[in-house]
Structure 1
Amino acid sequence: MMPIRQPESPHLFHAIIPSVNIPVSSPLVTMASASASGPLVFYDIVSGPPVRPYAPNPWKTRYALNFKRADFVTEWVDLTEVESTRKRLGADPVRFFADGAPFYTLPVVEDASAGGAVVGDSFDIAVYLDKKYPEAPPLFRHSIGIYAAFNAHIDSIFPTGGILFTDGQPLNPATAEQTKAACCRRFGAKSWNELTVRGDERRKVVATYQTALGEAAKYFRFSDGPFIGGKEPDYADIIVGGWLMFLSLTVAEWVEIRTWHGGVWGKLHDALEPYRGTW
């Protein structure tokens, strides 16, 4: 069981892409109605065509599933259907808006072979996978609490460049306007353009973001790389790697970001390639 967890209000970016899980008080595992055995079902956010995964916390889970060599299938969910999907599965919300309204996010993993177990938070999913697949290399090589604190710290740093991410979101064109309108209503913006930045102002944001990521880069100071612990990856690398995958797919300055802080981001991103799998 994970420690008691407290709700936090989402950053602007979190509301644009509901995939950054800030845990709240809830059980690690709930039970759904599924009963048949079979592969794990991984619920991920669908993009526009060609369909590919892009959101950061679902990427943490995808990396973890492949790292543990889990048998799983992906169930793609449109952003407009995330709330109804979680409710159908019995996966309680893991985040809340500042006004207390529940904020429904993905990933979710459903395990029919365990009586319909449903795990609805990327960190909790990693803990679950480590217990379910003990024969595979461990995701957690140290105290889980240390990784939980690290996850919270990384998830407080990487979203700070949120306005850089907006234009690059590969939204499903069938529901993109609905998604954009919902974000504008939530934040009082008159148009989607108010949630974006360009030109000289964007370069200022990029520079500020580089400084912000420097705080995360400090974790690599005593490592020969490419991973935080050296030559072998674990869940700490996956936590960062989920964000790097997201940046690589959504931010125009990704080629530049790869080189920041001695190139740690590009090196880690490339080193995690064997765990990306197919979809």
Structure 2
Amino acid sequence: MSSTITLYDVPSTTPQPWAPNIWRIRFILNYKRLPYRTKWVEFADVEATLLAIGAQPSSRRADGRALYTLPVIIDPRGARGQPATVLSGVDAIAEYLELTYPARPIFPEGARAVQSLFVHYVHEVLAKPLLPILVPLSHQRLPERSQAHFHAGGGAAGGAGAHTALGSAEREQAWRAAKDQFDFLHAIMSKNVGDPACDGVVVMGRNVTYADFALCSVLIWIEQVSPRDGWARVRMWNDGRWDRLRNKCREYMDVY
């Protein structure tokens, strides 16, 4: 039996994949040096594909219908004697990979709770002001068939309205709101400056952790869908901190 993990991702016209939740898992696989391959699935095919492999829905819609989203992995090596493991949901996959493959841990000893809180902040607070900017740009970089799927009302966001680009004034307002969050995070992370155990770049100590991967996944999203406007701004914010973090994670950014 092959020992290669399958990671499901969405195709795009960008030089690299952009979906931040899927990048979190790709970072972990690369960091732990686990063999994997990416299976590309257009948005219109996600639900049927995941049903076919026995993946669980990630959540429920308001009307109670199951919602199938990525990331999803298949680990043919299985767990606890099972022939194979199919997992949905970024946090569940991260926990599974850490438990099943403990070498090169992504959670520093004794810091799982703090790491989880940091990742929650990145996902639920830091990224929120970016959504009205980056979601329409991400939509524009999908293959035509996936774009049509969303215009017809498919996908988690549903409908064409969510994918309408902002006007210039609204866009600038959104970037200012995003910068406020990055400024706050910079102030928190700067508390490590002067600590001889810290390098001043990563969230904890000198080694990358799950928190860094969650944050860098957002940076990659910005870079891939808005390289000349968004990433040109963000990489210069806070004395170049975010560009340094991205470079720190660079060696774990391969796509297989």
TM-score, length basis structure 2: 0.84
> What is the DSSP-based 3-state SS (H/G/I as helix, E as strand, rest coil) of the residue aligned with 2:145?
coil
2:96 corresponds to which residue?
128
1:255 corresponds to which residue?
232
2:153 corresponds to which residue?
182
Question: Relative to structure 1, is the Cα distance of residues 145 and 263 closer, same or farther in structure 2, using a 3 angstrom cutoff?
Answer: same
Question: Relative to structure 1, is the Cα distance of residues 221 and 185 closer, same or farther in structure 2, using a 3 angstrom cutoff?
Answer: closer
Conserved in 2, the CA contact under 8 Å of 1:154 and 1:216? no
**Stretches of structure 1 lacking an aligned partner (at least 5 in a row):** 1-35
Q: Tell me the amino acid that sits aligned with residue 140 of structure 1.
A: F
Deviation string 1:104-146 (CA, Å, 9 cap, x unpaired) is: 21111111121111121222222222233233x2111134333
Shift of 1:188: 6.4
Q: Tell me the amino acid that sits aligned with residue 137 of structure 2.
A: G
| 1:168 matched to 2:137 | yes
Conserved in 2, the CA contact under 8 Å of 1:44 and 1:107? yes
The separation in 2 between residues aligned to 1:96 and 1:221, in whole angstroms, is: 39
Shift of 1:39: 0.6
Shift of 1:249: 0.8
The separation in 2 between residues aligned to 1:185 and 1:41, in whole angstroms, is: 22
Residues 1-279 of structure 1 mapped to structure 2, 5 A cutoff: 36-48=1-13, 52-114=16-78, 115-135=83-103, 137-141=104-108, 142-157=110-125, 158-169=127-138, 170-182=141-153, 195-223=164-192, 224-251=199-226, 252-279=229-256
Shift of 1:72: 0.7
Q: Which has the higher helix share?
A: 2
Q: Which moved more, 1:236-245 or 1:138-147?
A: 138-147
Question: Relative to structure 1, is the Cα distance of residues 229 and 86 closer, same or farther in structure 2, using a 3 angstrom cutoff?
Answer: same
Q: Which moved more, 1:89-98 or 1:156-165?
A: 89-98
Question: Relative to structure 1, is the Cα distance of residues 86 and 258 closer, same or farther in structure 2, using a 3 angstrom cutoff?
Answer: same
1:33 corresponds to which residue?
none
Deviation string 1:59-107 (CA, Å, 9 cap, x unpaired) is: 0000110000001111111111111222222222223344444332111
The separation in 2 between residues aligned to 1:161 and 1:242, in whole angstroms, is: 13
> What is the DSSP-based 3-state SS (H/G/I as helix, E as strand, rest coil) of the residue aligned with 2:77?
helix
Shift of 1:56: 0.4
> What is the DSSP-based 3-state SS (H/G/I as helix, E as strand, rest coil) of the residue aligned with 1:174?
helix
Conserved in 2, the CA contact under 8 Å of 1:180 and 1:192? no
Conserved in 2, the CA contact under 8 Å of 1:94 and 1:105? yes
Q: Share of identical aligned residues, percent? A: 26
**Stretches of structure 2 lacking an aligned partner (at least 5 in a row):** 193-198
Q: Which moved more, 1:73-82 or 1:148-157?
A: 148-157
Question: Relative to structure 1, is the Cα distance of residues 186 and 231 closer, same or farther in structure 2, using a 3 angstrom cutoff?
Answer: closer
Question: Relative to structure 1, is the Cα distance of residues 200 and 44 closer, same or farther in structure 2, using a 3 angstrom cutoff?
Answer: same
Tell me how large the CA RMSD over aligned residues is: 2.4
The separation in 1 between residues aligned to 2:155 and 2:117, in whole angstroms, is: 32
The separation in 2 between residues aligned to 1:188 and 1:178, in whole angstroms, is: 9
The separation in 2 between residues aligned to 1:253 and 1:174, in whole angstroms, is: 26
Q: What is the number of residues matched between the two proteins?
A: 240
The separation in 2 between residues aligned to 1:108 and 1:70, in whole angstroms, is: 16
Question: Relative to structure 1, is the Cα distance of residues 263 and 62 closer, same or farther in structure 2, using a 3 angstrom cutoff?
Answer: same
> What is the DSSP-based 3-state SS (H/G/I as helix, E as strand, rest coil) of the residue aligned with 1:221?
helix
Conserved in 2, the CA contact under 8 Å of 1:91 and 1:119? yes
Question: Relative to structure 1, is the Cα distance of residues 138 and 49 closer, same or farther in structure 2, using a 3 angstrom cutoff?
Answer: closer
Q: Tell me the amino acid that sits aligned with residue 44 of structure 1.
A: D
TM-score, length basis structure 1: 0.77
